[in-house]
Amino acid sequence: MIIMKNFTAKKVEINGMLIGMATDETGADWYESQKNFADDTLKIIFNSDGVIVSMSNDVSSLWPAGNSVAEIAPDAVPDNLDINGGWAFDGKKIIAREYTTAELVELAKNKRDALMAVATAAIAPLQDAVDIADASDDEQESLTVWKKYRVSLNRLDLSLAPDIDWPLLPE
- 49 & 118 share domain: no
> pLDDT in tens for each of the 171 residues of the chain?
899 999 999 888 888 888 888 999 999 999 999 999 999 999 999 999 999 999 999 999 999 999 999 999 999 999 999 999 999 999 999 999 989 999 999 999 999 999 999 999 999 999 999 999 999 999 999 999 999 999 999 999 999 999 999 999 998
The reported pLDDT for the residue numbered 12 is 83
Round the average pLDDT of the chain to a whole number and report it. Answer: 95
- 35 & 118 share domain: no
- 27 & 89 share domain: yes
- 83 & 57 share domain: yes
- 11 & 77 share domain: yes
> What pTM, to 2 d.p., does this model score?
0.70
Q: In the listed set 96, 112, 134, which residue is the last one of a domain according to the structure?
A: 96
Asked if residue 120 is part of any domain, the answer here is yes
Q: How many angstroms separate the Cα of 4 from the Cα of each of 16, 34, 64, 96, 102?
A: 29, 11, 9, 21, 30
Asked if residue 41 is part of any domain, the answer here is yes
Q: How many angstroms separate the Cα of 8 from the Cα of each of 18, 48, 119?
A: 16, 12, 44
The reported pLDDT for the residue numbered 93 is 96
Q: CA angle, 69 as apex, 68 and 73 as ends, to 5°?
A: 150
Domain interval for residue 134: 101-160
